[in-house]
Amino acid sequence: MADSKKNCSLRERVHGVAMLKKLGLGLITGAAMILGLGIDYSTIDPIKALVWSAELNGFIAVPIMAAMIMVASSKDKMGQFRVCWFLGGLGWTTAAMMAAATVTMVYVSF
């Protein structure tokens, strides 16, 4: 098996990877279509589903933003490409505002 990989040309290896990516894209698209059809024929209200997806996005966005800001501000991780104090401050301000909006959303919803 290892010998056959060595004898493979670069074009054949790249073509194999491209075919796997196309297969993955087709499977994801097919699964999304089946899920969409299932939701279409169910009793789920589309507007309520849209509101719930926005709320879920609000919950998930805050920790992701915090993690990205911590990585972007780290000299160990980013080296000379780390963000300056001003951009880091803007990022943390944005994350705090998103967290406040999420807390307000939970307070108003329940």
Residue type at 35 in one-letter notation = L
What are the b/e assignments for 3-20, b being 16+ CB within 10 Å?
Answer: eeeeeeeeeeeeeeeeee
Residue 90 has pLDDT above 90, yes or no: yes
Are both 79 and 95 inside the same structural domain?
yes
Could you give the number of structural domains in the chain? 2
Confidence of residue 10 (pLDDT cuts 50, 70, 90): low
Are both 102 and 56 inside the same structural domain?
yes
Are both 59 and 17 inside the same structural domain?
no
Which residue segment(s) compose the domain that 77 sits in? 44-110
Are both 38 and 49 inside the same structural domain?
no
Are both 22 and 33 inside the same structural domain?
yes
Confidence of residue 17 (pLDDT cuts 50, 70, 90): confident
* Mean pLDDT, all residues of the chain: 87
Q: What is the pTM of this model?
A: 0.64
Residue 41 has pLDDT above 80, yes or no: yes
Are both 56 and 2 inside the same structural domain?
no
